[in-house]
Structure formats: C-alpha cells, structure tokens
C-alpha cells in the first residue's frame, strides 16, 4: 500500500480545468487574474492516475473537499480524501504517508525573486515538515515550495531537531530545470523528442544558482558558441518567462505539475525496486552515499546533482563535476556565491524563527 500526500493541493500547480472556469480577465488586469478560481490540480490528478498510488491525501487550507470529491470520480485505483486544517486535518492527512509532496505557499508575481517568497513560505514549509516529522517520520518528502534553495535546508533542520532526519528521503524538486533544459536544447538542436535527451542541471533552483551542463548532454549535442549564453540564460530564467507571461496570475503550474509528477513517479518506481532511475535533485549531500566528496568540492551541503534512486530513496549522488568545461566552472562559481547565502538563511530561520 502506498499513501501519497499533496500539501497545497488546491493551488495552481495545475489548473487543468481552467477552460471550465470563468474566462480569465483581459491581459493586464493582474489583480483580477490572480483571483481566477482554481479548483483542481494536475499534480494531484496525475498522482490519482498513477497505478503505484493506493491512497491519495489532499491537504490545503482551502477547497480540498471539492478537489477530492471531483478527483474521487476518476476511475483509477487510488482512494482520494481531502483534508482542511480543522480537527488536526494536517496530521490526519500526513499520518503514515509514504510520499509527501509539498507545493504549499505563495507563487511569484512579475518583478519578484524566489527569495522574496521566503518570509511567507519559510513558515508554511516549517509547519508542514513539523507535522510530517510527528506523524510520518519515514516518509519521502518532496519540497516544491520556493525558494527551494532555502526551504529544503529549513526542512532538514526541522527533521534533525525532531531526530527523524534521513537525508536519503528529503528532496528539493529541481526537475523543472531539467525539463526546460531538455526542451530548449531540443528546440535548438532540431531534435524531435526532447525526452530522448539527458541534460544534467546542477546547483540550486533560482537564477544563477541553476547550472546546466551542456557539455554532458547525452546523446551529445554541440551548442554553438554564439548560442551558448542565451541558452544558459533561458534555462536559468525560464521561470521568469512564465511569471511574466502570466502577468500577475502566478508562476509555472502545468509544467511544474509534469515535472513534480515525473520525479514522484520515478521515486515510486525506484522504491518498488526498479533499477537505473536517475534524476537530479537538491539534497543534503553529506547524507547521501557519494555526496560527501561532492560537498567537499562545492563547499555546500545542499546541492542538486543527478541522484540514483532506489528503495532507500537517494541511493547515490553522482559526481558530474569532474568533467566540466571552463565556462561551466564560471557558472558554478556564480552559483555557489548565491547558494551559500540561501542555505544559511534557511538554516538560521529554522533555528530562530521570527
């Protein structure tokens, strides 16, 4: 039996039924656009469709009874239940969960950085991880809420304080950066199917902390010199592209639901024994086999590298730093400058919340 939880289940990482909603307001009316009702979530829908999930618990501060009732009519295996904060709903939702996915929190508006979300989202993630530590201490936890560079260190510190931290079971979801890199490289290289490409993206999940390693694309693709900087920039700032286009109505939701599901599905398959499944993720390196050596090189404990997944979660951190080019070294230096501050900010918050 596999129980999966989505915390933040009524949010926009989805909107698969947007065409059933009232028509969106005209472009430019940002405030109204932000209030377009959202009552469904493709990440939850995808998990409902997943044959590896037996029980799906949807937790949010609003609307989960409706989302759960709706999804429960989908003719797939998973039993769906919605939970609200009343009557210790978070505890009931998280109880004995195997996998907890957390997209709870506010998204960006144009002009904001992910770090601008810290003041609100840090507390939300901290509270949810405290519940997870209490009622599902062995769960695999997938943190989507931004700023991931800081919310994952917060999660680790909370789990440590409760003596239930297993670094092989805590993942910052950076899959959207890989998805974007695959898409943009395939476009540039004229490849029909982006999913046939493996493009490692390492570091963190914001702007310059995102480091695509185009020298390690498999099968190999040569990026022309005059296209390199623009391609790096597009992968690093792909999130901004969506935030700007949505014009105040939030950030990436559909592509994120795909990315979050892609990671969750790989993990679920790996837990069940499938071999050879690798996906980059932002983890606590010293606690993952192979990670300590990488942490020595980067000087950071939290960092995203390709992770081999297995029954214990993160079975192995794969060192891709050995073969990087001079251009990639420059990108890595810039990444580490920003990332260290983001990590410190998260750790400090976890120990001294305001």
Q: Which residues bind ligand NAD (CB under 6 A)?
A: 7-8, 10-13, 38, 59-62, 103-108, 117, 121, 124, 127-128, 144-146, 148, 173, 176, 205, 250-253, 256
Least distance (Å) between residue 43 CB and ligand NAD: 9
**DSSP-based three-state secondary structure for 141:** strand
Distance, CA of 142 to CA of 176 (rounded, Å): 13
114 is a site residue for ligand LMR (CB under 6 A): yes
Under the binding rule (CB under 6 A), the answer on residue 243 touching ligand LMR is yes
DSSP one-letter code for 167: G
- Of 306 and 324, nearer to ligand NAD (C-beta) is 306
Query: Considering CB distances under 5 to 8 angstroms, the limit depending on partner class, which of ligand LMR, ligand NAD, none binds residue 7?
Result: ligand NAD
Residue nearest to ligand NAD (CB): 11
Q: What burial letters (b/e) apply to 69-84, b meaning 16+ CB within 10 Å?
A: ebbeeeeeebebbbbb
Contact between 15 and ligand LMR by CB under 6 A: the answer reads: no
Q: Please, which residue, 81 or 206, has the CB nearer to ligand LMR?
A: 206
Provide the phi-psi class of 37: left if phi over 0, else alpha when psi is between -120 and 50, else beta.
Answer: beta
> 242 is in the binding site of which of ligand NAD, ligand LMR, none (Cβ under 5 to 8 A by kind)?
ligand LMR
Which of ligand LMR, ligand NAD, none interacts with 121 (beta carbon under 5 to 8 A by kind)?
Answer: ligand NAD
- Measured over the CA atoms of residue 190, residue 195, residue 200 and residue 204, the dihedral's sign is positive
Minimum CB distance to ligand NAD smaller for 132 or for 309: 132
Nearest to 224 by CA among 197, 185, 183, 179: 185
Subset of 197-236 contacting ligand LMR (CB under 6 A): none
Element holding 307 (H helix, E strand): strand 302-310
Nearer to ligand LMR, 170 or 242 (CB): 242
**111: region left, alpha or beta (phi > 0 left; psi from -120 to 50 alpha):** left
Closer to ligand NAD by Cβ: residue 265 or 324 = 265
In 215-325, where does DSSP find H-type helix? 225-236, 238-246, 254-271, 291-298
8 binds, among ligand LMR, ligand NAD, none (CB under 5 to 8 A by kind): ligand NAD
Size of the site for ligand LMR (CB under 6 A): 10
Site for ligand LMR in 119-148 (CB under 6 A): 146
Specify the stretch interacting with ligand LMR by CB under 6 A; choose among 159-167, 221-229, 237-245, 336-344. Answer: 237-245
* Distance in Å, CB of 148 to ligand LMR, minimum: 7
Q: Which two tokens stand for residue 221?
A: 């693709």
Token look-up 């009874």 returns 65
What is the gyration radius of the CA atoms in the chain, in angstroms? 19
Could you give the string, one character per residue 69-98, with x where binding to ligand LMR holds by CB under 6 A and - elsewhere? ------------------------------
Return binding residues for NAD(+): 60, 121, 144-146, 256
Tell me the H-state helices in the chain: 30-34, 42-49, 64-72, 89-94, 118-135, 148-161, 175-189, 225-236, 238-246, 254-271, 291-298, 326-351
Query: Residue 144 CB, nearest distance to ligand LMR (Å)?
Result: 8
> What is the rounded distance in angstroms from the CA atom of residue 24 to the CA atom of residue 34?
10
Q: Known catalytic residues? A: 205
| End-to-end Cα separation, the chain, in angstroms | 39
CA dist 93 to 3, 59, 176, Å?
Answer: 10, 6, 26
> Residue of minimal CB distance from ligand LMR?
239
Binding pattern to ligand LMR, positions 163-182, x when CB under 6 A? -------------x------
Binding site for ligand LMR (CB under 6 A): 107-108, 114, 146, 176, 239, 242-243, 251-252
């Amino acid at each position: 039996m596999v129980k999966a939880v989505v915390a933040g289940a009524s949010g926009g990482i989805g909107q698969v039924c947007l065409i059933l909603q009232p028509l969106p307001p005209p472009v430019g009316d940002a405030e109204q656009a932000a209030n377009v009702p959202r009552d469904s979530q493709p990440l939850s829908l995808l998990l409902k469709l997943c044959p590896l999930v037996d029980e799906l618990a949807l937790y949010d501060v609003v609307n989960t009874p409706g989302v759960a009732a709706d999804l429960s009519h989908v003719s797939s295996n998973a039993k769906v239940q919605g939970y609200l904060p009343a009557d210790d709903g978070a505890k009931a939702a998280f109880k004995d969960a195997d996998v907890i996915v957390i997209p709870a929190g506010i998204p960006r508006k144009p002009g904001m950085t992910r770090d601008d979300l810290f003041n609100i989202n840090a507390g939300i993630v901290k509270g949810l991880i405290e519940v997870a530590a209490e009622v599902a201490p062995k769960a695999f936890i997938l943190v989507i809420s931004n700023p991931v560079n800081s919310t994952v260190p917060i999660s680790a510190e909370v789990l440590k304080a409760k003596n239930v931290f297993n670094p092989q079971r805590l993942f910052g979801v950076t899959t959207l950066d890989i998805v974007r890199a695959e898409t943009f490289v395939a476009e540039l290289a004229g490849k029909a199917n982006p999913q046939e490409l493996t493009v490692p993206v390492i570091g963190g999940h914001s702007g310059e902390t995102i480091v695509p390693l185009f020298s390690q694309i498999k099968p190999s693709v040569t990026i022309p010199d005059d296209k390199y900087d623009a391609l790096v920039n597009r992968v690093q700032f792909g999130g901004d592209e969506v935030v700007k286009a949505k014009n105040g109505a939030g950030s990436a939701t559909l592509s994120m639901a795909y990315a979050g599901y892609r990671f969750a599905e790989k993990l679920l398959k790996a837990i069940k024994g499938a071999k050879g499944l690798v996906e980059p993720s932002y983890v606590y390196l010293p606690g993952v086999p192979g990670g300590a050596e990488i942490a020595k090189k980067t000087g950071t404990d939290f960092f995203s590298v390709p992770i081999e997944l297995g029954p214990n979660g993160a079975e192995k951190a794969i060192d891709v730093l050995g073969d990087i080019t001079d251009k990639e070294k420059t990108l890595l230096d810039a990444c580490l400058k920003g990332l260290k501050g983001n990590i410190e900010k998260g750790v400090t918050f976890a120990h001294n919340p305001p």
